[in-house]
Chain A
């Protein structure tokens, strides 16, 4: 089945404690695509990513990765299947230097970038190899967070708002990085609020509202759907 999606999320529901956050999320990601989840604050975008990784308390529905059901798996087992997560808050560890942060995730498969390749993509990280991770600038921390998961051999990367709070010049740099990652054959699921940025990197966009996917817009049709998108996102 050459066209079977790499990631197929069907009727996904999630809870934080008693709070029911996702109410049946459906979408898919094909291998080699960059797909974004767009939506207002509180739409359930980050929870969707955390649900895929097994980082929420309770999940129901189906998450199939390369045909295998992973909805009941622990986060480490999800990661071992080949999915890597870069959280919104970047998750740089204060007690680890840049190199230690970079080398922290174990290699889970062949095909990850070697350290030389990573330093070519992110030269700043090499210059600051021995600095504590949290002493880097926001942009450098974001680069480190992305670089860290490129090493592992995971082929599906979940990037949660990688441009949040960054200067426009750094946002452009992140955009270039995501395009390079795509060119290297990685598949990317991206959570974004900034749809202008998303339009520069993505193939398709899913729009989320109130814990559901309410629309899918191919990037090529974004211009025609701009009015609708403005309504969805309230911009």
Chain B
């Protein structure tokens, strides 16, 4: 058996693959958080709960309407994104002139309510969601066995991150978004409806979380706490990448997933904390984050 640094190659690459898959979720979730923070100045603590709602919506679409995984990939983000638009209009929009803390507390409360409601209806033990038939099985790559679905998750997350990056960095909509992040009143004085743009941005960020939730449904059991498990790590990713940095979120998300995977191989006891250790080091050395701009 091929060995690398004294570790069997299949074990090393298997853990690396797991790390990349986790990284894909970190990247998608932190990307949505970064977009929302950049535009709304809101630390969206409800992001994990909205990720969980994405997974539950795909489960509901299958079990109540017979709508399978591929349509759920499209419909669940739209449904949960629309729910996000309602949340923003009814609640979050009232807090823009207040300190960040109020937004954080409100979204934290929303997260607890959503998780509590889902737990009341579906319990906390988790619901199964099958991997779609087209993506079952695995590929023998020689140095490791790669489950098809995990490969798909990484590919789908990469493509979604790339599309989001292109929209923000290379289109006129993205230019308006970036400009409004810098000086929203001036952008509005050019005739651009900034309040509507903010609402749609929140909806889009939430839709990204829901998309990640649909991708996650077949891997993790669909349960009310699945978002809470992710969200703390994702916040660390956002802090390390730099609050509001799009590219920072993507690179840091995947990078830290890999770091976590490698730690699981070489020092398993440290795998749960390595991201927070990195966060502390980055905060001490570069408080604005690896890709953030100091204000």
Contacts and interface: CB of A to CB of B under 8 A. Distances in A.
Interface stretch (B17-25, B26-34, B45-53, B189-197): B189-197
Contacts of B189: 53-55, 75-76, 78-79, 85
Interface in B148-203: 172, 175-176, 178-179, 181-183, 185-195
Contacts of A149: 190
Contacts of B195: 74
Nearest to A80: B191
Contact of B191 (A55, A79, A95, A100): A79
Contacts of B193: 76
A103 B191 contact: no
Interface stretch (A29-37, A86-94, A122-130, A191-199): A86-94
A76 B179 contact: no
A108 interface: yes
A76 B182 contact: no
B188 A96 contact: no
A220 interface: no
A65 B185 CA distance: 21
Nearest to B192: A76
A96 B179 contact: yes
Interface in A57-106: 74-76, 78-80, 84-85, 87, 91, 93-96, 100, 103-106
Nearest to A106: B191
A105 B178 CA distance: 13
Contact of B188 (A76, A94, A100): A76
A84 B191 CA distance: 9
Given A76-B194, A105-B191, A95 B182 contact: yes
A161 B183 CA distance: 19
A152 interface: yes
Contacts of B187: 104
B168 to A, nearest CB: 10
A54 B188 CA distance: 10
A80 B191 CA distance: 5
Contacts of A87: 186
A141 to B, nearest CB: 14
Nearest to A78: B189
Contact of A103 (B172, B185, B194): B172
A217 B175 CA distance: 42
A93 B183 contact: yes
Contact of A55 (B179, B181, B185): B185
A96 B178 contact: yes
Nearest to B168: A95
A100 B173 CA distance: 11
Interface in B186-244: 186-195
Given A55-B189, A104-B190, A93 B172 contact: no
A76 B186 CA distance: 9
Nearest to A103: B172
A103 B183 CA distance: 16
B188 A95 contact: no
Contacts of B186: 85, 87, 91
Contacts of A106: 190-192
Contacts of B176: 104
A75 B188 CA distance: 6
A102 B178 CA distance: 14
Q: Which of B172, B181, B189 has the most CB of A within 10 A?
A: B189
B249 to A, nearest CB: 16
Contact of A104 (B179, B181, B185, B194): B179
Given A93-B183, A95-B178, A104-B176, 11 more contacts: A75-B188, A76-B193, A76-B194, A79-B188, A85-B189, A91-B183, A91-B186, A93-B178, A96-B175, A149-B190, A152-B190
20 contacts: A53-B189, A55-B185, A75-B185, A75-B189, A76-B192, A79-B191, A84-B190, A85-B189, A91-B186, A93-B178, A95-B179, A95-B181, A95-B182, A96-B178, A96-B179, A100-B172, A104-B175, A104-B176, A104-B187, A105-B192
Closest CB pairs A-B (n = 8): A79-B191, A105-B190, A75-B189, A75-B188, A95-B178, A91-B186, A100-B175, A93-B179
